[in-house]
Chains A and B, each alone.
Chain A
Amino acid sequence: MSTTTTTTTSAAAAPPPAAGAPGVRRRTRRSLSPGKRLPAAGLIGPLAVLALWAAASAAGRLDPGAIPAPWTVLRTAGHLWTEGTLATDVATSLRRAAYGFAIGLTAGVVLALASGLSRVGEALIDGTVQLNRAIPTLGLIPLFILWLGIGETFKIAIIAIVVYIPVYLNTHAALSGIDSRFVELAEVQGLSRLAFVRRIVVPGALPGFFVGLRLGVTGSWLGLVVLEQINATSGLGYMMFQATNYGQSDVILVGLLIYGVFGLVSDSAVRLVERRVLSWRRTLNS
């Protein structure tokens, strides 16, 4: 039997140290950290809400006209998918968001590079974008309808603008915020301008770019929702808006559910890419 127990865990009720064993007396201090993370911590809250929702519906405490039961929503989703227009609506919405996002992302990156890497570019571009940023993009909708009509082009254009602004702002800030010590290093090591941009400026700006990218992804969904609910004749938002007129709360919930899945999947995808590309940062965070 051993009396030399050295507790290193955060045992709250530490037993009195064994007598006759001086030198191994060690009282663990009370731990102030919240302790170990619970397994699947991110899922517990949502699952509890879902359970509560299901229980309340089953007990008949919820007005099915306002909040239909979870299984009703699922059944409606299946029904809409097989017999209704849900599949085409989802495809339409995804296409809009994807085109707008791709164009906005490209524009944001190209403009940020042009403005971040040359003083002339900065003079021409930065002020203009800052001005553009001051105008809420969704406020441009009436003007864009006049210019581009109410078709797909206008929707894609608005989403692209919503996306390019955060991408530009964050990438540009990161590009122009390159540590001057690294600029000096590049000069000492005799890097060419191209090598300087490739090896120092661009990798150094990537963390900022990813911040912009995630804001851009969020922005593209937000833009999509707004556009589809006011000025569309197809797509998820249109489906939900129509459902309002007929009091079909289950259809609205199906739409919200799908928007949620869109947001979750796209954000996870960006995070995954970010983790891969910025793998050198993991050593700092872990």
Chain B
Amino acid sequence: MAPHTEQLTAPAVRLAGLTRSFDGRTVLDGVDLELPAGQFTALLGHSGSGKSTLLRAVAGLDHEVEGGGELTAPERVSVVFQDSRLLPWRRVLDNVLLGAEGKEAAERGRAALAEVGLAGRERAWPSELSGGEAQRAALARSLVREPELLLADEPFGALDALTRIRMHGLLRELWKRHRPSVLLVTHDVDEAIVLADRVLVLENGRIGLDLTIDRPHPRSYRDPLLGEYRERLLAALGVTEDLA
């Protein structure tokens, strides 16, 4: 077979026995994980369960953290943080182009802004954007780099509920069009179920549950079949839904 097919089947991210600890407290205790190229994965966990530690390890942002294990990640990785992290002294387009140079990049930047619905706001200052708009600009910034892997650390955590639902649709849309591997870290079970095709639960420093969600998109929160997934995930998180 052509090497092209081989590339497609190769995992985008591979973790083997990944450990990370802070001041002797083990946060990641030998995580084994493979993310196939182009898969939309969500990572759930309690706060403090090490979700962000895992994401930062994959992003290569954990400089002074103890730990070992094997980690393979693609060359082009983008990260979307919980805050939009736009530089207040650069206009929106210049923020999107941070780290991408040249005329051709500027065109891609405009296109990315248009894709997230911010066409015409290129010259705005970040302080003039609403929270949702700022987060969309951050998404555009991550797209410009044409990432093979998109890491998102609770990207909608600071948004209001209505904006969040709209952003869910946008993220899924962008994923469909560009097909990066996505690792979405979240503490919101519903968000994970609605967006991802595979949901992982991080528990005691390891992947406690690995669940494939086989439902068509777009999904609705009210889909009763998603309820089963929700229950299993909540159980894995140690939450029992007592509705009595």
Contacts and interface: CB of A to CB of B under 8 A. Distances in A.
Interface string A152-192: 00000000000000000000000000000110111111110
Interface string B70-101: 00000001110101010111100000001110
Contact of B128 (A184, A200, A204, A283): A283
B125 interface: yes
A246 interface: no
Contacts of B141: 189
Contacts of B127: 280, 283-284
Contacts of B128: 283
A191 B99 contact: yes
A182 B88 CA distance: 11
A280 B125 contact: yes
A187 B61 CA distance: 8
Contact of B89 (A185, A188, A195, A280): A280
A203 interface: yes
Given A283-B125, A283-B128, A284-B127, A188 B61 contact: yes
Contacts of B85: 181-182, 184-185
Contacts of B61: 184, 187-188
SS of B interface (majority) = loop
A191 to B, nearest CB: 5
A191 B98 contact: yes
B150 to A, nearest CB: 11
Interface residues of A, number: 21
Contacts of B89: 203-204, 206, 278, 280
Contacts of B90: 199, 203, 280
A208 to B, nearest CB: 13
A195 B88 contact: no
A185 B88 CA distance: 13
A188 B88 contact: no
A182 B87 contact: yes
B145 interface: yes
A188 B78 contact: yes
Given A184-B61, A280-B127, A203 B87 contact: yes
Contacts of B59: 188
A283 B127 CA distance: 7
A199 B87 CA distance: 9
A95 to B, nearest CB: 35
Interface string B206-219: 00000000000000
